[in-house]
Structure 1
């Protein structure tokens, strides 16, 4: 309370001079007499309370307190002695007290004021001559901060804010807590390096330099340690911001863990596909959709064609001359280029040794990583075609002379069930002893090198024997020679060959 012996400013001419000084200030100014009466307020102070006359503020401190309810930003209501206007009357010097101002009878605050005090002492004694409240309307600033706070907390994108002066986290949103499993109070007492948001960053040194300078940190991958153990792959970036006039850094994150898991699953899937591809009993190849280059072939393809992977990979099928004719190659490649998948398309290919192989070709467009590819599958139908031709010949024979039905057709149909040697065709007796040995080893599935070691002869000698066998029995590939021999009851198992058989088998 004011001392009654003090001379009131109301009784002096100084009030007029003081009003002339402060009338045009942007800050609100309220002059209070030591007797707790409100002497005067400038237009800015009146506008900050939504009134036009000093009387609307109240004639005294008590009336002001009754008309305007004040509370702190944490919603704690001020007691009477805590009002800035009461504190200045009590002689308390303070600065930058922030309060929310609500009109009596209302529940929501109208303004946010930042208030400081000033005491003008009389020159003749030690008592105050005038008490001054200086007010700034900071409603817009705090509204913007509230909007930012709401947006920051509601944003599902994980985010943290650290104060640059001590690198301590001052804000964390729910997105970051959900992503990492941290608790809010565990984060807000830590620094940037306690919860290392730049751990294992690919440009960590640059990020630390930018953080120290308060400059933008570009996006980079990092690995966050999780409170329960393990890590999480993220993209982190930093943006300098100001919060309450304090320089800060806003860190935002993108969770890359789903991508890493998807890439791992894709890699494992591709590995399983590769193993299945290599072990498949069906001849298969993988080629680039653009250019028809073969990228991979499996063991069955190599066995059927005689081409090793190194001989055929990276080469267009046209250069390899896999297709029997150029017209056939163009037809198949046109279908692939047109985006059509082949299904059991009948074609004839040439093996490395020149033998023709009848196949059913199927293709499927696939992606391996980022590459568009084609999966090729080949079904060898050479034996089936030979059987079909034989059946056609039998039918044609019937059509020529039905009197042959009892003899010729029955013989041919019998051979379809259990093939036998034709009486007028070449027989085993037409082969030399050495040629029968070579044919026996062919029937056992030996290649030329193994036959050469078994018989202890040169590779060229074996190839010459094979060529003579083909010429005598009228075939041009191994599988046809095996079929010819088995049709005559010759499987090669009962033929004793050179002394190196056991060694070769071992």
Structure 2
């Protein structure tokens, strides 16, 4: 064996010993494309344990492993790194995805470079492929890419070395109307995302330093002319080992429109609240503290505003009937609204007025509140009572009236009262009318039983039926029901039978 051959073999053994323990994968090829040797790292990066699993040469390697570029395009066989180095090419930083043809579930990402070893005469002697396993880095980058593109918040990434945009997501394109190729590759001078920033000097300084740019309002120029008000912020990051700045944006236009709409709505409500001639009160739902009242309330109830605002309904104590306030707010808490409930109120000067209360639950600054509308119906009530008195006077001597006509006249007063049940005296049986009449005379159940010659239990059953039909709960309520309808004001039995 010649000295040159021995020297070559010695050099190769020494080279193999040096690179065998490297974390980088190394594959040695002969000039005829034969795969001569590979270290353990290179075998692991291909998912094999023996060198013959790589194939005998570059052609067999191409059959056993499918390579794709990072853009998912397949690598032509002639452009496989092992084929290129076999042609004597030198290259670096070629990123490829490597998938075994026999196991498509596993894929590695290699960053490959080549080296051509020359002999003492300078002629090519061995070919070397050196590869780094960057699968984890590529997976993280892919996750970042998916997250960045899927993020609905508009964003762009600017490379700090030349201030050029290298990434843009759909949110930014949709917000501005730019096309992707109008952004990618353009510089921060051509598309200035910090233009009109409220603290432009600080923003520019932080961009030069590559440090965080705090949120600030800015004016973003649009491709078709005009501009858009945005909130912009910058966050430094590294991408592909390069210092970059991630700019994210918030479109102020929807918020501005919502604020304008809210302000206009509040203005309309405030104007209607102040100018309506009907007393209105707003109080908190939990403690019933009065938050606001209109002028009509102050005028009607004769209170100065300082004695109402900030006070609870209980402290003001303008609801006359005992227990009415508790029942009113209990009903509101249960049903969230009320419609024309008759409540007697008291002015500051102790004068009593009748009010029809309507109420609803509203949210003010995310707090539940009650809006109470208090319609003064005192005059209407007085008119109704006068009408009832007139009807009663007529009915005292109106023997020629039929009972049905008398009831229709008596019921005139209840037309506008939503609280009165829609029940007629004629809905009661003859015996139930007798029982109601004797109740109105003030007789107890035993006395009624004696008068009508009925058993006490039978009378109690008739009384319960009368209560149910009239929707009342006591003798006094039954008497009021009858009096409001002008019944039993005289010898009605005699009149009704004539």
Pair 1:9–1:105, CA change in 2 (3 A): farther
The 2-side partners of 1:37 and 1:269 are apart by 81
Match of 2:364 among 363, 368, 372: 368
The 2-side partners of 1:69 and 1:370 are apart by 60
Aligned length: 399
Pair 1:167–1:390, CA change in 2 (3 A): same
Structure 2 residue 94 is matched with structure 1 residue 97: yes
Pair 1:398–1:215, CA change in 2 (3 A): same
Query: Structure 1, residues 290-340: CA drift from partner, whole Å, max 9, x if none?
Result: 554444444444553455657754454555564456765566566567776
The 1-side partners of 2:99 and 2:307 are apart by 88
Match of 1:40 among 28, 34, 37: 37
Contact kept in structure 2, 1:9 and 1:129, CA below 8 Å: no
Contact kept in structure 1, 2:321 and 2:343, CA below 8 Å: no
What is aligned with 2:160?
164
Structure 2 residue 23 is matched with structure 1 residue 26: yes
Pair 1:44–1:295, CA change in 2 (3 A): closer
Structure 2 residue 280 is matched with structure 1 residue 284: yes
Contact kept in structure 1, 2:62 and 2:77, CA below 8 Å: no
What is aligned with 2:123?
127
The 2-side partners of 1:70 and 1:389 are apart by 99
Contact kept in structure 2, 1:9 and 1:33, CA below 8 Å: no
The 2-side partners of 1:264 and 1:336 are apart by 32
Pair 1:212–1:397, CA change in 2 (3 A): same
Structure 1: unaligned runs, 5 residues or longer? 1-5, 406-412, 417-506
Match of 1:346 among 342, 351, 374: 342
Structure 1 residue 184, shift from structure 2 partner: 0.8
What is aligned with 2:379?
383
Query: Structure 1, residues 417-438: CA drift from partner, whole Å, max 9, x if none?
Result: xxxxxxxxxxxxxxxxxxxxxx
Pair 1:319–1:200, CA change in 2 (3 A): farther
What is aligned with 2:149?
153
What is aligned with 1:141?
137
Query: Structure 1, residues 395-449: CA drift from partner, whole Å, max 9, x if none?
Result: 55567x74999xxxxxxx9xx9xxxxxxxxxxxxxxxxxxxxxxxxxxxxxxxxx
The 2-side partners of 1:184 and 1:91 are apart by 39
Q: Secondary structure at the match of 2:178?
A: coil
Structure 1 residue 155, shift from structure 2 partner: 4.1
Structure 2 residue 168 is matched with structure 1 residue 177: no
Structure 2: unaligned runs, 5 residues or longer? 401-408, 413-498
The 1-side partners of 2:263 and 2:5 are apart by 88
| Structure 2 counterparts to residues 186-225 of structure 1, below 5 A | 186-191=182-187, 195-197=191-193, 211-215=207-211, 224-225=220-221
Contact kept in structure 2, 1:221 and 1:235, CA below 8 Å: yes
The 1-side partners of 2:399 and 2:10 are apart by 148
The 2-side partners of 1:318 and 1:271 are apart by 30
What is aligned with 1:13?
10
Contact kept in structure 2, 1:237 and 1:252, CA below 8 Å: yes
The 2-side partners of 1:310 and 1:185 are apart by 65
Match of 1:113 among 110, 114, 117: 110
Pair 1:356–1:93, CA change in 2 (3 A): same
Pair 1:10–1:77, CA change in 2 (3 A): farther
| Structure 2 counterparts to residues 285-364 of structure 1, below 5 A | 285-307=281-303, 312-316=308-312, 322-324=318-320, 332=328, 341-351=337-347, 355-364=351-360
Query: Structure 1, residues 87-117: CA drift from partner, whole Å, max 9, x if none?
Result: 5455544332333446679999954332223
Normalised by the length of structure 2, the TM-score is: 0.63
Structure 1 residue 39, shift from structure 2 partner: 3.3
Structure 1 residue 187, shift from structure 2 partner: 1.8
Structure 1 residue 352, shift from structure 2 partner: 5.6
Match of 2:262 among 266, 290, 312: 266
Normalised by the length of structure 1, the TM-score is: 0.63
Q: Secondary structure at the match of 2:354?
A: strand
